[in-house]
Structure 1
Amino acid sequence: MSTEIELRDLASEIAKEAGELARRRRAEGVHLAATKSSIADIVTEADREVEALIRDRLREARPGDGFLGEESEPTSGETGITWVVDPIDGTVNYAYGSPMYAVSIAAVQGSADPDSWEPLAGAVYSPAAGELFTAARGQGARLGEQRLSVNESTPAGALLGTGFGYDPATHDGDLATTRSVMTMARDLRRSGSAALDLSYVAAGRLDGYFERGLKPWDFAAGALLVVEAGGRVSRIDVATPRPMLISGGTAVHDRICDIIGKET
């Protein structure tokens, strides 16, 4: 068995256990722990508990690996492999009782810098839907046992996903970008979970997805899913505080890049 498959299987196992913990804690009632970048960007006690579980399981299985998570201090490790983890992607949805949240776990080769790492494996688990999306480098992407493939034909226009930052100062720019991209779209979805949006692109439930200001843990697993499903993922404006991530089948990806590139 290849290293990538072993890492994928480990990520899958832990993501399911972590997701079930998150689901149980949501049923018991959410307790807000703090805010992140703004008053609208919240973190729950469950975020911290779920990340602690993931970190513990990874330490037990692969003690020499590095770790980059949303809710705890990063460690560099000794093996050259780093785990990039979002314990609950879509925390606001989670707090409000929306089912659009997920556990995202990825293993990458190299540092925790997305511009220099090489993705190896990833898993995105949706506890509310009971859906597990997985990918390993060179092995394709799957939903359960079903092989995934991005949409390449969009004759009625592309069904796109996006998201907006929590800082009100960024809203006008994000809305202007969305307005520009809507010229190629049949409709727009805004789920509140980048990990699920990317998983849905891989599964053909969306034709493309774009968003500014994502953190590495938001897209590490989902971007690999898209690539392994035959799609493309790009990050542009990486020298700015809010890089843009663009994903989709080749034609949709390239068209979004072209539209957004003319704005910058």
Structure 2
Amino acid sequence: MSMNPKHLQSAQGAAESPVDRAAALGRELLAVAREAAAAGAAVLAERGRGKVAADTKSAAGDWVTDFDRRAEIAVRDVIAAARPNDAITGEEYGRTVPAEPSGYRWSIDPLDGTANFVRGIVYYCTSVAVFGPLDEAAASATSATSATSAPSSTATPEGNTLAADGAAMDAGTHGWLAASINAPALGVEYYAAAGDGAWLIDSVLATGSDARRGGSATRAQRLQGGDKEEAGRLLATGFGYDADRRQFQVAALLGLMPGFANVRRIGSAALDLCLVADGTLDAYAEYGTQEFDWAAGALIAAEAGLPVLRPRTNPGWQAAGYLDFDALPAESSLGEVPAADQPASGAPAAK
């Protein structure tokens, strides 16, 4: 290898380029996301047989368990140890902002599909994703803004940042950067990093299986969604706890059904999005989900090459796959839900 100083300078410059630094950061964030999701899933894997004791949060069927709380603590511990200056927003413990924020924020659902978990239905998971600046200039600006406006080292209620985050994504300064969804009862992990595709590790299906979700515990398969012209297309959705909200959701669903053979209600928004990403389902649309429900799954679906709609308002529509997003109605168009019945920003939505 040449020792010409010009060559050395070029090699050093390449190693320190913004592109290389961004790639290294992406790998770091993905590693943290996967480790954190695995830590939460390990708590969920402690579940035995039979029903699990649960407390009611906001409505009948809106449950929280000790597993939710312990899994979130496990996820937070991993993130805080690896990236102590990142903010964290979690379903059970709200938002925590460090004294010197980095500008990166993690959105975590320690147990997506709590109702399934309580009943012993296997569709539940831990979901972890991180949002932040795409380049160094945006990182510096975000850190300065956060440092002057955020409280230090305290858990605070989550504000509605959907519109601001969406505008930053449109401007190309910020985005969802890495995500992992770990479903221990299914034996699968889905993960993605911005620009690097979406992947599945399935510890149940044997290597060489021709199933769409093929793979093994040691070999990841890249996800590319399903066939746009699939016969018998399936649409996934979910429903809230409030009766008026459910009435709107059912009416909206009827309007979306043309073009689909049937509908599935899995019970976990995160896994709905993953099943669209791996082609098991063709599309997913749900009104009123919270950020921690879709943060990781939306990135996984997008990196699988699918159209994705993230909500800009709370409540709003979240959707992915081969679906006409323009056909998603506004809530007022099918009957106004009284303001008193609408969940506040950050309040839990249907699992």
The two structures share one fold, judged by TM-score above 0.5:
yes
Q: Which residue of 1 aligns with 2:327?
A: 259
Q: Which residue of 2 aligns with 1:118?
A: 175
1:233-260 CA distance string (max 9 Å, x none): 1135x44x52011111xxx23x2x1322
Alignment partner of 1:242 is 2:315: yes
The residue type paired with residue 136 of structure 1 is A
Alignment: residue pair count: 256
Instruction: Pick from 128, 131, 140 the counterpart of residue 108 of structure 1.
Output: 131
1:182 CA drift (Å): 1.0
Once the two structures are aligned, what percentage of the paired residues are identical? 38
**2: distance between equivalents of 1:127 and 1:133?**
11
Alignment partner of 1:187 is 2:262: yes
Q: Which residue of 1 aligns with 2:102?
A: 79
Structure 1 contact 26–94 (Cα < 8 Å) conserved: no
1:152 CA drift (Å): 4.3
Q: Which residue of 2 aligns with 1:56?
A: 77
2:89 partner SS: strand
Out of 84-93 and 167-176, give the one that drifted further.
167-176
The residue type paired with residue 93 of structure 1 is N
Would you tell me which structure has more strand in proportion to its own residues?
Answer: 1
**1: distance between equivalents of 2:115 and 2:253?**
21
1:23 CA drift (Å): 1.7
Instruction: Pick from 299, 304, 308 the counterpart of residue 233 of structure 1.
Output: 308
Structure 1 contact 30–45 (Cα < 8 Å) conserved: no
Q: Which residue of 1 aligns with 2:347?
A: none
Instruction: Pick from 74, 91, 112 the counterpart of residue 70 of structure 1.
Output: 91
Structure 1 contact 30–46 (Cα < 8 Å) conserved: no
**1: distance between equivalents of 2:200 and 2:246?**
33
Closer/same/farther in 2, CA of residues 157 and 17 from structure 1, 3 Å limit: same
Give 1:81-100 correspondences, 5 Å limit: 81-100=104-123
1:155 CA drift (Å): 4.3
**2: distance between equivalents of 1:199 and 1:30?**
25
**2: distance between equivalents of 1:29 and 1:192?**
16
The residue type paired with residue 34 of structure 2 is S
Closer/same/farther in 2, CA of residues 96 and 28 from structure 1, 3 Å limit: closer
**2: distance between equivalents of 1:46 and 1:262?**
35
**1: distance between equivalents of 2:294 and 2:91?**
12
Alignment partner of 1:45 is 2:118: no
1:130 CA drift (Å): 1.0
1:31 CA drift (Å): 2.3
Q: Which 4+ residue blocks in structure 1 deviate beyond 3 angstroms?
A: 25-29, 261-264
Q: Which residue of 2 aligns with 1:212?
A: 287
2:261 partner SS: strand
Structure 1 contact 158–185 (Cα < 8 Å) conserved: yes
**2: distance between equivalents of 1:225 and 1:243?**
20
Structure 1 contact 37–167 (Cα < 8 Å) conserved: no
1:195 CA drift (Å): 0.3
**1: distance between equivalents of 2:259 and 2:281?**
14
1:41-90 CA distance string (max 9 Å, x none): 01111100110111111111111110000000312341111110000000
1:158 CA drift (Å): 2.6
Structure 2 contact 51–120 (Cα < 8 Å) conserved: no
Alignment partner of 1:142 is 2:164: no
1:168 CA drift (Å): 1.7
2:191 partner SS: strand
Alignment partner of 1:35 is 2:78: no
1:184 partner SS: coil
1:73-128 CA distance string (max 9 Å, x none): 31234111111000000000000000010100001116873441610000001110
Gaps of 5+ in 2: 1-22, 134-145, 147-157, 166-173, 202-219, 334-351
The residue type paired with residue 198 of structure 1 is L
Alignment partner of 1:162 is 2:162: no
The residue type paired with residue 132 of structure 1 is E
1:208-253 CA distance string (max 9 Å, x none): 10001100100000000011000111135x44x52011111xxx23
* Structure 2 length-normalised TM: 0.69
1:35 CA drift (Å): 2.0
1:125 partner SS: strand
